[in-house]
Structure 1
Amino acid sequence: MPASAPASDASSLTSDERRRIAVIVNPNATTTSPRLRDLVLHALSHRYDVEPLDTRAPLHATELARQAAADGVDAVVTLGGDGTVNEATNGLVGTGVPLVPLPGGATNVFHRMIGMPGDIVDATEHVLTLADAWAPRPVDVGRIGTRWFTFAAGVGLDASVVARVDQHPRLKARFGPWYYAASAVGTFTRRYVVGPPRLRLELPDGRVLEGATAIFQNAPEFTFFGGRPVRMLQGEGLTTGHVSGAVLRHTRPTVMPGVVLRALVTPLDLGGHRAVDAAPAITSATLRSADERPLPVQVDGDAIGELTGDLPIGVRPGGLLVVA
C-alpha cells in the first residue's frame, strides 16, 4: 500500500487476514520498561502482525514512522509519552496511515484527548478489540516552524520550563506535575523577571502582538496537571480547522498569579487576562524574535531547542488519522 493511500477499514479484511502494525517503543519513556514492552508486544501479536521498532535517539520515531508508512503498514502504534506521539506524528502527517498511541509517558495528554484508556493494560486490551472495529478518524495538526504538534506548542517561559524538566528525567518521573511547578518558579525568577526574550506574532489581518511568551492550542487542553485539565484558551478542538494562540505581553511577577488561576480554573480564559493578547482561530501566522535572541520552543510537552528566524504558525485540517 503506498504511503498516500488511506488505511484499510474492517470490511476490507477477510476472516484469516491480520493487519500489519509497526510498534514504535521509546525505551526511555517514563513508565516504559523492557518487561512492559515485551508484554505489550506479545499481547498485540494475538490479533496483529507486529513489527517492533525501538527508538535510539531524538527524532528517531519520526524516521521510523515515515519508513513504516512507506513500507505499507496498516497502522503505527506508539508505546511512549506525548514526545513519542509527536515524533511519530511528524512522520505520519498526510500519509493516510493511522496512529494508535499506547500510554507510556508521565502525562499522556494526546492519549486522553482521543479516548485511549490511561492504564497500559486497559489500553492494550482496547487496541485488541479495535481489530474488529477498525475506524480511523481524522484530527487536525498544528504547525510551528517545521514541526507538527498534536495539542499544544509554547514559545518562551513555557518552553524554558519544559527544557529544564527534560534535563532531569528521574525527577520528572518521580514528582510529575509538582516538579514542573517547582521548575516553573525557578525558571521564571531566573530568566523571566528581568530581561526575558521578546517575540513578535504577526497575523494575516496586519495585527502584530509582541510579548515574552506565546502559546498555541490545537485541542481543548493545553496539558494536564495530574488529573486536572489545563485549558488556557477556550473553544479549541482537534477538528476545528484552526489553532488558537495567546501572547503574554510581559512577565512581571504581579501578573503571574492571574495567569496561573486562568489556566487551572476551567471557565476562565487566558485571553481575558489584562496582560494577554488573544489570537483565536489562526490558520496562518508568523512568529519571530523581536530582539534577535533565539526563542525556546516546545511542542506537545517536548523542548525542541532555541530557534531563530521566522517560525510559520499554521494548521493542517484532518492531517493525521488516529484509531482509538
Structure 2
Amino acid sequence: MECHFDAVAVGLIEDELAVALQCLRGWIECTRIRRIRDLLYTDDNVHSTQVWRAFRHAPNSRQSEHARRCTVPRGVVPGARPERGGVKVLLIVNSSASSVTARAKVVIQKALSADHDVTLSETSRRGHAARLAQGAATSGTELVIVLGGDGTLNEAANGLAGTTTALAPLPGGSTNVFARTLGLPDDPIEATGVLLDAVSRGSIRRVGLGSVNKRYFLFHCGIGYDAAVVAFVERRGQLKRYAGHPLFVYSAVDTWLRRYDRKHPHFAVQHEDGMFIDDGYFGICFNTDPYTYLGARPLSLAPDATLDTALTMVTIRSLRLSRLAALVVRALRGKSIEGARSVDYHADVTDFTIRGHTTFPYQVDGDYLGEVSTLRFRYEPAVLDLVIP
C-alpha cells in the first residue's frame, strides 16, 4: 500500500523522536520509553509504524541501546490508551520561557496524555498562570503541571495555595531553581519521565510556603541588591532567553559597580524574638535551599532551609567585595554561611518584618515585584500539595 506523508508532519515526528529518545536515555524503564515512542502510533501521525521502522534503521539515529531493546509487547495495540485510570491535568506552558520549544511542548503533552486527561493552556501575560491554576482548582482538576521558569511556577503556586489541587514543575526556564531543588533533571522531557513515575506512585506532600506581603514564594524572596540584579535582567527580557547565565553574571557585576548604593544600609530587620538588625544591605528569606545554581553547581547559602522547616532569613551587612567573595566560596563548597563575617543568620523563623530606610527593591522566586518600604514575612505551613519526585 502506497504511503502519502505530509512533509511537515513527518518533520515534526522526527524532531519529537530525536529529542524525546535522546533525552530520556537508557535509565528510564522500558514502559516510560515506550510511552514516549508511542506518540507515533496515533491517528494524527499517518503510517506511523513505517515511520518508526525508518527511524530505527536511519544511519543518524541516536537512540540508546536500551531504547532499541524496548519493543511493543505481542498483543498490545500501538497507540491504545492504557486501561489504568489517570487524573485530570492542566498543563500550563510559558512559551516565552528560555528552554520551552514547540517540539518539546508537543512531546510532553502527548506523553502525559498517554495516562491522563490533559488540557494545555499557554500563558499570555504576567499573572496569567495564577488565574489558570485557580480556575483549574475550582473546576476539579487534580494536578497542575507547569512548563516554564520559576516565575511562572510561583504564579501557579499562588493560584493553588489553600486548595487540594497538586502542583508539579517541569523545567522550562534559564535556571529552574525549584524543579532542580526537588531533584528533577534540568531537561524538560527527561523530567517528564521522572514526573510520570512520581504521579503514578502518588508521591504528593502537603508543604509549607513563605509569604511576603501576602504573596507566596516557593524557594526564596530577595531584598535589596539581588532584586536590583533581577530588575536589570528583566529589562532585557529578550536577551534573557538566549544569554541566560552570562546575562545574570554581567548584571550582578554591573549592578554592584554602578546601580546599587554600597555605602549606606538600605533596611532594618525586626525578628519575632526581639532581635533587631538595622544595617541590612542585602537580604534573602529562604523557604528552601539552594539560593540558585551556577551551571550545575548549587549555590547553597542556607542548608537549614528545607520543606520540613520554617523560613531562614539571611541578612548581609556589608557589600565589600572581599566579604561577598568569601561568602560565594563558602557556598560553592557546600558550607553554611552562618557565622560568617557581616552575616546575620536566623533559621526556623515564622514571622518578621523588614522596614526600609528608604524604599528598596524585592523579588520573589526570581520575579521582580518593585520597590516598597515595608515587607511582612510569614511562614504558612501545609498550604500546597506538591508532587515530589
Query: What TM-score results when the alignment is normalised by the length of structure 1?
Result: 0.88
In the other structure, the counterpart of 1:281 is: 348
Residue 232 of structure 2 aligns with an amino acid whose one-letter code is R
In the other structure, the counterpart of 1:247 is: 315
Contact 2:220 2:365 in 1 (8 A): yes
Contact 2:95 2:122 in 1 (8 A): yes
Which whole-Å deviations, capped at 9, do the CAs of 1:23-44 have from their partners, x for residues lacking one? Answer: 1111111011233222221221
Residue 81 of structure 1 aligns with an amino acid whose one-letter code is G
Aligned-pair distance for 1:255?
Answer: 2.6
Provide the secondary structure at the position in 2 that maps to 1:24.
strand
Comparing 293-302 with 224-233, which one deviates more in the overlay?
A: 293-302
In 1: Cα distance, 2:165 partner to 2:294 partner: 31
In 1: Cα distance, 2:262 partner to 2:342 partner: 16
Residue 287 of structure 2 aligns with an amino acid whose one-letter code is N
In the other structure, the counterpart of 1:313 is: 377
Quick one: structure 1 residues 196 and 296, their matched pair in 2 at CA, closer, same or farther if it must change by over 3 Å?
Answer: farther
Does residue 97 in structure 1 map to residue 165 in structure 2?
yes
In 2: Cα distance, 1:46 partner to 1:75 partner: 15
Quick one: structure 1 residues 218 and 131, their matched pair in 2 at CA, closer, same or farther if it must change by over 3 Å?
Answer: closer
* Structure 1, gaps ≥5 residues long: 1-13
In the other structure, the counterpart of 1:7 is: none
Provide the secondary structure at the position in 2 that maps to 1:84.
helix
Contact 1:197 1:295 in 2 (8 A): no
- Of 70, 73, 93, which aligns to 2:138? 70
Residue 339 of structure 2 aligns with an amino acid whose one-letter code is G
- Of 328, 332, 339, which aligns to 1:272? 339
Quick one: structure 1 residues 196 and 57, their matched pair in 2 at CA, closer, same or farther if it must change by over 3 Å?
Answer: farther
Provide the secondary structure at the position in 1 that maps to 2:338.
helix
In 2: Cα distance, 1:36 partner to 1:234 partner: 33
Residue 286 of structure 1 aligns with an amino acid whose one-letter code is T
Contact 1:200 1:209 in 2 (8 A): yes
Aligned-pair distance for 1:194?
Answer: 4.3
Does residue 46 in structure 1 map to residue 110 in structure 2?
no
> Matched residue pairs, number?
306
Residues 16-31 of structure 1: pairs in structure 2 closer than 5 A: 17-31=85-99
In 2: Cα distance, 1:131 partner to 1:147 partner: 27
The percentage of aligned residue pairs carrying the same residue is 36
In the other structure, the counterpart of 1:208 is: 276
Quick one: structure 1 residues 287 and 125, their matched pair in 2 at CA, closer, same or farther if it must change by over 3 Å?
Answer: same
Q: Which one has the largest radius of gyration?
A: 2
Which whole-Å deviations, capped at 9, do the CAs of 1:199-223 have from their partners, x for residues lacking one? Answer: 1111111111121111111113111
Contact 1:47 1:131 in 2 (8 A): no
In the other structure, the counterpart of 1:83 is: 151
In 1: Cα distance, 2:307 partner to 2:107 partner: 31
Aligned-pair distance for 1:169?
Answer: 3.1
Aligned-pair distance for 1:196?
Answer: 5.2
Q: Taking CA–CA contacts closer than 8 Å with sequence separation of 6 or more, which of the two structures ends up with the larger relative contact order?
A: 1
Does residue 56 in structure 1 map to residue 118 in structure 2?
no
In 1: Cα distance, 2:294 partner to 2:198 partner: 29
Query: What TM-score results when the alignment is normalised by the length of structure 2?
Result: 0.74
In the other structure, the counterpart of 2:290 is: 221
Contact 1:239 1:318 in 2 (8 A): no
Aligned-pair distance for 1:172?
Answer: 2.7
Aligned-pair distance for 1:195?
Answer: 4.7
Does residue 301 in structure 1 map to residue 369 in structure 2?
no
In the other structure, the counterpart of 1:142 is: 210
